[in-house]
Amino acid sequence: MSPEIFYWFAIAVKMAIAASVVIAATIAAERAGPLIGALVATLPVSAGPSYFFLAFEQDAAFFSRSALGSLLLNAATAIYATAYVLLSQRNPFIICVPAAMVAWLGSFFLFSRFIQSGATAAILNVVVFAACFLLVRRYRDVRMPKIRLCWYDFAFRAGLVGALVGVILLLNTVMGPILTGALAAFPIVFTSMMLILHRRYGGPACAAVMANGITGLIGFGIAAYFLHMAAIPLGVPLALTAALAITVAWNLGVFALREKPAS
């Protein structure tokens, strides 16, 4: 396969995967509640395909450095989700999402500028997620109203997410390395779900999904730290497989604990 064909194939796969997971997550939130939707949304939809295709081009040292970036960006995404949750209780989408995006970009810039080691990045994640969890905890349990879904709802969602992913990936070819890294880590699933759910159900209901997503993102942070530490000694294929298993196991564990009946 030529490099050009491989490039466009990679973009098409990422668009399809992201669209499929956003649809699954929004349907899960509508049918089974915000917790299930959040756990589906926090699976490594964007990072997973990106790392998979990088495996054909980069060595283990590059993967280790990239995972450190993912760990920093994970903390920034928690801030993004938390800002949206707090703002969306009383504000329209056009205000709360851009404001949350500013918080995401600002925090990512500061983290990437001042934090250079995996240990420091891990500590940062612990501090940020503890604070974010406390801030959004009260907003996690909101009943999603029942709305009948039509075929054009699914078509709209798939087209919206696929187009957004495609634009972001294409911009990577004209941006410098810092902006490219930021765009590659863009919280596409969260943003797409905000647009879909906020429009249909309002801010508080959508915020419940994002608030539950804070817990799910912890698993991705653990996986990113593991990949940072294990890519070189274990090799890329084994480290990537284990990191994916960590995210899935974490989300299943969160679901099991939250759904466990009180004794």
Say which range, 6-20, 82-96, 174-188, 211-225, has the weakest mean pLDDT. 174-188
Give tens-digit pLDDT for 106-125.
Answer: 998 899 888 888 899 999 99
Give tens-digit pLDDT for 197-233.
Answer: 787 778 888 888 899 889 989 998 999 899 889 989 9
Residue 124, token pair as written in the block = 């940062």
What global pTM score does this model have?
Answer: 0.79
Residue 184 pLDDT exceeds 60: no
Residue 214, token pair as written in the block = 């804070």
| Confidence at residue 250, expressed as pLDDT on a 0 to 100 scale | 92
Return the residue matching tokens 């940072």.
Answer: 228
Say which range, 38-42, 53-57, 182-186, has the weakest mean pLDDT. 182-186
To the nearest 10°, report the CA torsion of 178, 183, 187, 189.
-160
Helix axes 118-136, 203-234, angle to 10 degrees: 160
Reported as half-sphere exposure (CB side, CA atoms, 13 A), residue 154 has a value of 8
Mark out the alpha helices in 88-202 (DSSP H runs): 93-114, 118-136, 151-171, 177-184, 188-201
Residue 158 pLDDT exceeds 80: no
Residue 92 pLDDT exceeds 60: yes
